[in-house]
Structure 1
């Protein structure tokens, strides 16, 4: 992707949380940023994120950039994991938090921009993004098209 004055190469690996891929974590996480994704309609997938984050940190150490990402926000009526639960876990585990809807592309571009901004050498960009962030709390969150997004840490 093009980010400001740079081209950033992002390589994506999707294990779908399957245990059979757990042994491949060392190969996938070498010199990488990790996004641990869970399904907001499946509390078990959310609970499993702790183990995945611990595995990444065991392999990479505590300085690795990790994002906890709740997906399938289009299924709000089937939600089993609240935004607040995701934010709380992210804060406890000292990782960044994001919610997306990959099917519709909601917040996906912003997620990748946050990944790019968090990479080594992009510190000034990350500081500028934080300065531009606006915190919005909705009583009844509705899926809204978003032009700009912020990184949550």
Structure 2
């Protein structure tokens, strides 16, 4: 299952978020800008997945994010499921100047939906909007695609710190709503199964009552 969250008043919410996308699209830059407010102009390839943690307080609710930054190389794809299993959310990053990186996002979405179904909250990030003049992916196309797959699209720039905080905040809010809905369904299901297991034993004395009081018997059956 996708969601690995707790939502009690004492523990708050624990969410695992995975970043997916091709190499060089800026996944590491996005997460480092968000968690540590740092940006490095030099590209550093992520060789293996690494986890960064971020604590939030949203409307009085404590949220702990464990963000998994994954490598973008093709050889990583086979290992992908190990990292995104049990994820509550995913940030799919593409480079707005690289149309191929946007096509690869579509492959990731298909894979996530195949493995996790609709259990996962999705964000699609069109990164590097500081290079708007070199854009090769139409914003309209990206937003339309996001709508089709139930994701929210954000234009981001790790370099300029544009929309990074807003993107993770939006994702966290949606994960809270989803976790609450799952918890609610689980509680209702437990309640209804408890009701089904209750056996009503009628008192023999009630059965021997004269027919004139049968209206009471009718009431007890419908209650």
Q: Could you say which TM-score interval applies, normalised by the shorter chain? A: 0.7 to 0.9
The alpha-carbon deviation at position 30 of structure 1 amounts to: 2.3
Higher share of residues assigned strand = 2
Confirm or deny that 1:58 pairs with 2:114: yes
For the aligned residues, what is the CA RMSD? 1.9
* DSSP-derived class of the 1:81 partner: coil
What are the residue-to-residue correspondences of 1:92-131 with 2, within 5 Å?
A: 92-121=148-177
Q: Which residue among 87, 91, 105 is the counterpart of 2:143?
A: 87
The alpha-carbon deviation at position 84 of structure 1 amounts to: 0.6
Q: C-alpha separation between the residues in 1 aligned to 2:161 and 2:95?
A: 15
* DSSP-derived class of the 2:69 partner: coil
Q: Which residue among 48, 70, 74 is the counterpart of 2:104?
A: 48
Higher share of residues assigned helix = 2
Decide whether the 8 Å contact of 1:41 with 1:80 is kept in 2. Answer: yes
Unmatched 5+ residue regions in structure 2? Answer: 1-55, 181-223
Bigger radius of gyration: 2
Decide whether the 8 Å contact of 1:13 with 1:28 is kept in 2. Answer: yes
How many residue pairs match? The answer is: 124
Q: C-alpha separation between the residues in 1 aligned to 2:113 and 2:73?
A: 18
